[in-house]
Structure 1
Amino acid sequence: MRYAAAQCAAAPLDIAANVAHHLAFIDAAAREGVQLLVFPELSLCGYELAGMAACALKADDALLAPLRERATDAKMTLVVGAPLANADALPGIGAITFHADGRTSAYRKHFLHAGEERHVKAGSAISQLHDVRGSKVALAICADTAQQQHAHAAAVAGAALYAAGSLISNGGYDKDSAQLAGYAKLFGMGVLMANHAHASGGYESAGRSAIWARGGRLIVAAPGPGELLVIADDDGGRVVPLR
C-alpha cells in the first residue's frame, strides 16, 4: 500500500472552500498512486473550537459529496478532519473516512486536550479500524496519541498502521514525534502523522508531517511547514510539494 499525509492549510470555518482545497490534494495524491490519504485534525474547518458548532457536519452531508465521489473515482481511501454534529450535544472532533467503495464512516476523538471539553464532546470508542487494501489502519486524532492506551488498543486490534491527524506546534513537536516513533517500536506497527501546513486556531503549526516504519525507523518527514504530501510505501518515502 502507498499511503500519504496531506499537510494542508485550512480556511477558518469555511467547509466549502476546504472541500475544494482537499480535492486538489486528492488529485495530486492520485497522480502519485496513493491509496490512503490522511488529512490533519479538523482539516475541513481549521482548529476553530469556538465556531465549530455552527459548521458541524454529518458524515453523509451533501457538502462532502465531492470528497466521496473523488475517493471512489480515484479508488483511494480518504481520512479528513471534520467537526461532527451530535444531536442535542456539543459537536465532536472527528475523522470522516471516505472508502474507495463508496462507504463512509466517522470516528470521534476519544481523548481531549485540556479545555477542549468546553466546546466539544469526546467520542466513546477508543479505536476504529479500517481495512485498506488488506491492511488494517487504526485512526487517531491529535491528543489521542498522547495516551499510550489508545495506540495499545489499536495494536491489540491488529493495526498495521496507526494514522493520526494532528495540530502540533514547534514547542510540542519533539515530544509528540518521539512518542509516535516509540509506538512504532513498542507495538510493531507503522505510524503516520498528518500535521497542518500553517497556523490554525491561533496555534502555529510545526508542519513536519512524518511516517515511521514498524520498529520506529523514520521513513520520511516534511522539512517544516508548507503544503505538501508526505508519501511512503515499501520502497521508502518522499515529499511532494502541492503544485
Structure 2
Amino acid sequence: MLIALAQIPGVPLDIEANVGAHVQAVEAAAAAGARLVLFPELSLTGYEIDGIASDPTRQLDDPATVDDERLRPLREACTLAGLTAVVGAPTRRAGRTYLSALALDGRGGVTVYDKRNLFGAEKDVFTAGTGGRTLTVCDRRLALGICFDLSDDDQAGAAAAGDAWMLGVLLTGPGYAADAARAAQVAQRHGVTVVLANHAGPSGGMVGCGGSGMWTADGGHVAADAGDQEQVAGVWLFDLDDAAVHRRIA
C-alpha cells in the first residue's frame, strides 16, 4: 500500500492557508497512487501552543460531528481523491482542548484521535486523550499516535495489533537521532512498522528537522532526508510493503 508523508512548513495559526497547502499535498499524493497522506503534529496551526491557548478560534469544534467551513476544501479533496488524510489540529469538546489527529477519509467521515502523552507546556493547554484510534485503509489496520506517544511502550504494544503506527510529530535536529532510534526500537520490539511525518522548518519557536520516514520490524529504515538542519520541504511517497520504495512527489 502506498502512503505519502507531507513534510511541509506551515503558516502560524492560519488554518485557511494551511488547509490550502494540505490540499496541494493530497492532490500530489493521489496523482502518485497513495491511499493515505500523513501530516505533522498540529499541521493546521503549527506548534503554536500560546496562540492556540489564547485564541479559541484557532481550535476546531468537535470535528467528528461539527462541519467547520475551514476544513471543507480538504474534505472535498479527500473525497475527490478517494484517499485518507491524517492532519494535526487543536480541537475543542465539552469545554476542553485536545491536541488531535483528524483522519479525513474519502467518504466524508472524520476519525479523531487525541494525544495521550502530552509533553512540556502542552500539559498547561491540552487535556490528555484516553483511548486509541485505528483506521482501516485498503484492509490495513493503521493505529494513530502523535509525537511523544512514541515514548509509551504500552501504547506501542497496542499499536502492534495493527499493521503500522502512524504518528505526526515535531522533531528537531538535536533530538532527532534519539527519536529515530526510539522508532526503530519500537518497530523491532513490537513487530510493527512505525511511520513518522515531521515538520520542515520553524514551528512554535522550534525548527522541525524533517527526516520523515518509515521504520520496519526487520530493522529497515527509509527517510525523506537526513533529519537535520538541512531539512527539505516536500511530499514523499512510501510503500508499506517495500521499505526500499520511496521518492519525492512534490
For this structure pair, what is the TM-score category when the shorter chain's length is used for normalisation?
over 0.9
Q: Could you tell which deviates more after superposition, 192-201 or 233-242?
A: 233-242
Mapped to 2, the partners of 1:69 and 1:4 lie a distance apart of 18
Shift of 1:238: 2.0
1:131 to 122, 128, 136: 136
Shift of 1:103: 1.1
**1:85 counterpart SS class:** strand
RMSD: 1.4
Residues 6-34 of structure 1, C-alpha deviations (whole Å, 9 max, x = no match): 10111100000000111111111112111
**2:93 counterpart SS class:** coil
Mapped to 2, the partners of 1:193 and 1:106 lie a distance apart of 18
* Aligned 8 A contact 1:36 1:76 in 2: yes
Tell me the TM-score normalized by structure 1: 0.93
Letter in 1 for 2:90: P
Shift of 1:220: 3.6
Mapped to 1, the partners of 2:93 and 2:175 lie a distance apart of 30
Shift of 1:85: 1.1
- Tell me whether 1:239 sits opposite 2:247 in the alignment: yes
Mapped to 2, the partners of 1:183 and 1:149 lie a distance apart of 11
**1:226 counterpart SS class:** coil
Shift of 1:52: 1.1
Letter in 2 for 1:181: A
* Aligned 8 A contact 2:29 2:249 in 1: no
Identity across matched positions, percent: 37
* Aligned 8 A contact 1:19 1:66 in 2: yes
Mapped to 2, the partners of 1:208 and 1:239 lie a distance apart of 13
The equivalences for 1:144-155 within 5 A come to: 144-155=149-160
- Please list every run of 5 or more consecutive structure 2 residues that lacks an aligned counterpart in the other structure: none
Letter in 1 for 2:86: V
Mapped to 1, the partners of 2:200 and 2:218 lie a distance apart of 27
The equivalences for 1:181-200 within 5 A come to: 181-200=184-203
Partner of residue 124, structure 2: 118
**1:205 counterpart SS class:** strand
* Aligned 8 A contact 1:181 1:212 in 2: yes
Partner of residue 208, structure 1: 211
Letter in 1 for 2:182: Q
Shift of 1:229: 1.8
- Please list every run of 5 or more consecutive structure 1 residues that lacks an aligned counterpart in the other structure: none
Partner of residue 70, structure 1: 77
Residues 8-65 of structure 1, C-alpha deviations (whole Å, 9 max, x = no match): 1111000000001111111111121111110000000000011114210031322101
**2:100 counterpart SS class:** strand
- Tell me whether 1:61 sits opposite 2:68 in the alignment: yes
Partner of residue 16, structure 1: 16
* Aligned 8 A contact 1:184 1:190 in 2: yes
Structure-2 change in CA distance of 1:11 and 1:64 (3 Å): same
1:83 to 90, 95, 114: 90
Tell me the TM-score normalized by structure 2: 0.91
Partner of residue 169, structure 1: 172
Q: Could you tell which deviates more after superposition, 13-22 or 230-239?
A: 230-239
Partner of residue 36, structure 2: 36
**2:87 counterpart SS class:** strand
Shift of 1:107: 0.7
Letter in 1 for 2:103: T
Q: Could you tell which deviates more after superposition, 220-229 or 141-150?
A: 220-229
Mapped to 2, the partners of 1:115 and 1:216 lie a distance apart of 33
Q: Could you tell which deviates more after superposition, 231-240 or 43-52?
A: 231-240
* Aligned 8 A contact 2:210 2:224 in 1: no
**2:90 counterpart SS class:** strand
